[in-house]
Amino acid sequence: MLQNWFILLPELTFATFLPVAWLINHYRETKTAKTFYTLSKFFLLFALLFTIIFYNKSVWPTIWENSRYTTLFKVSVYLVAFVWFYLSSKWFLNKNRSSYVFYNSAIYSLLLFGILLSARNLLVPTICVPLLCILTVVLVMQRWDTEKVYQVVKLYGAFALLSVILLWVGCLILKKDIGNLSYSGIQEFLSQTPSVKISTYIAVTLVLSSLLFMCGAAPFHFWYTEIIGVAILPVCGFITLIPPFVYLSCLISLMTGAFSPLVEDLRPLLLSFAFVSMGFGAISANGQTHIRRLFAYSSVYNFGLMLLGIISFSSISVVGGFVHTIIYVMAMAGIYTSFLGLKSKGEYLCEISSINGLSEVKPYISTATVLFMISLIGVPPLLGFWGRLSLINTLVTEERWLDAGLFFIALIFMTNAFLRVIRSIYFEPLQNSFDRTDKSIYICLFINLVLVLISIFNPAYLLHDAQIVLSGVN
Nearest to 358 by CA among 347, 370, 375: 370
Bond from prior residue into 429 cis (ω within 30 degrees of 0): no
Mean pLDDT over all residues of the chain?
85
- Give pTM, 2 decimals: 0.90
* 327 close to 419: Cβ distance less than 8 angstroms: no
- Name residue 119's beta-bridge partners: 64
Residue 324 pLDDT > 80: no
Tens of pLDDT along 262-287?
Answer: 988 888 888 888 889 988 899 999 98
Does the CA dihedral 251-157-218-368 come out positive or negative? negative
Q: What is the DSSP string of 204-273?
A: HHHHHHHHHHHHT-TTSTHHHHHHHHHS-HHHHHHHHHSHHHHHHHHHHHHHHHTSGGGHHHHHHHHHHH
pLDDT for 147 beyond 80: no
Q: What is the reported pLDDT for 458?
A: 54
Find the helix or strand (DSSP H, E) in which 168 lies: helix 147-178
Helix (H) or strand (E) holding 66: none
Buried b (16+ CB within 10 A) or exposed e, 406-431: bbeebbebbbebbebbeebbbeeeee
Question: How many Å is the maximal CA-CA distance in the chain?
Answer: 69
Tell me if 452 sits within 8 A of 383, measured CB to CB. yes
Residue among 8, 80, 69, 72 at smallest CA distance from 44: 80
pLDDT of residue 455: 61
Structure confidence by residue, pLDDT tens digits, 123-132: 999 999 999 9
* Closest to 280 in 3D by CA, of 259, 299, 301: 301
pLDDT of 42 above 90: yes
> Quick check: 433 pLDDT over 80?
yes
pLDDT-derived band of residue 383, with 50, 70 and 90 as boundaries?
A: low
Q: What is d(CA 298, CA 293) in angstroms, rounded to the nearest whole number?
A: 9
pLDDT tens for 211-252 read 899 888 888 888 899 999 889 999 999 999 998 888 888 888
Q: Angle at the Cα of 230 (from 157 to 115), degrees rounded to 5?
A: 50
Q: Which residues contact 233 (CB under 8 A, 6 or more apart)?
A: 88, 91, 336, 339, 340, 348
Burial label, 324 (beta-carbon count in 10 A; 0-12, 13-18, 19+): buried
Average pLDDT over residues 94-110: 91
Q: Which tops the pLDDT comparison, 456 or 68?
A: 68
pLDDT band at 410 (very low <50, low <70, confident <90, very high): confident
DSSP, collapsed to helix, strand or coil, labels residue 348 as strand
As a whole number, mean pLDDT of residues 68-78 equals 87
Per-residue DSSP letters for 386-443? HHHHHHHHHHHHTT-HHHHHHHHHHHHHHHHHHHHHHHHHHHSPP--PPPPPPHHHHH
Q: What is the mean pLDDT of residues 398-412?
A: 78
Cα 347 to Cα 328: distance, rounded to the nearest angstrom = 27
Alpha-carbon gap, residue 128 to 339, rounded angstroms: 31
Q: What pLDDT score was predicted for residue 267?
A: 87
The predicted structure's pLDDT at residue 300: 92
C-beta separation of 201 from 177 below 8 A? no
Predicted pLDDT at 4:
67
First to last CA, the chain: 33
pLDDT at 148: 82
3-state secondary structure 12-39: HHHHHHHHHHHHHHHHCCCCCHHHHHHH
